[in-house]
Amino acid sequence: MNALIVVDVQNDFLPGGSLAVPDGQAVIPIANAAMENAKRSGSIVVATQDRHPRNHGSFASQHENADIGSVIELDGLDQVLWSDHCVADTPGVAFPEALRTDLIDRVFPKGGDPMVDSYSGFFDNGRRHSTGLAEFLRDQGVTSVTVLGLATDYCVKFTALDAAAEGFNTTLLLDGSRGVNLNPGDVDAAVAELCDHGVHIKRVEETNQC
């Protein structure tokens, strides 16, 4: 069985949000179509959701004189500092109204520990705690996953890498994802890294690229 993983398609990552991904809104119709196709074929649809406390250590606002985009050490791990985003119980954490959330079987929140970020939908960045996503997928008999969402060079990349590491045959739907490109070339580097780790890269109308 296949599962579709919709990564972090949330208001704060969309135009007008506090950490908007360039062209992020373009993934919504592709995600909706992919979810509809998944349900027609009997596949599982899950979504990940960044859900941070207000004092999360990945927020530049929590560190004196820190710049967004700079890198610090947070509890022993390198951490890029971001603007405050996807704070629990705020509009930014929510899925956009245009996203077909009625097709999602289960949502997996991540990022609740203020001392460690959680890019992947499977584990926090230190791999200290599991979200339960891998266990859920195995319980449903899932052997392959397709990943899309926001952002290609961060949460999508790490979700796909962990999916492959957990033994799932993993495909990235490239045109269903958009990247931050904090540094020029980050998205291309992320795609190359995914290829190197056995993740298949495809577009909606194309066969696998690697």
Separation of alpha carbons 97 and 9, rounded Å? 11
Active-site hit among 8, 50, 124, 162 = 8
Query: Per-residue pLDDT for 206 more than 80?
Result: no
* DSSP secondary structure string for all residues of 65-93: TPPTT-EEEETTEEEE-B-S-SBTTSGGG
- Give the model's pLDDT for residue 205: 75
Name residue, tokens 């959330």: 101
Q: Please compute the mean of the pLDDT values over residues 181-201 and round it to a whole number.
A: 96
Q: Residues 54-71: pLDDT tens digits? A: 999 999 999 999 999 999
Q: Is 39 a catalytic residue?
A: no
Cβ contact 172:160 at 8 Å: yes
For residue 57 the two structure tokens come to 């250590």
- Give the model's pLDDT for residue 204: 84
Active-site hit among 50, 153, 155, 157 = 155
Query: Where do runs of H (alpha helix) occur along the chain?
Result: 27-40, 133-139, 157-165, 186-196
Q: Please compute the mean of the pLDDT values over residues 118-139 and round it to a whole number.
A: 97
For residue 129 the two structure tokens come to 């705690």
Q: Residues 78-92: pLDDT tens digits? A: 999 999 999 999 999
Q: Is 110 a catalytic residue?
A: yes
Cβ contact 62:68 at 8 Å: no
Active-site hit among 84, 110, 157, 162 = 110
Q: Residues 129-156: pLDDT tens digits? A: 999 999 999 999 999 999 999 999 999 9
Cβ contact 145:137 at 8 Å: yes
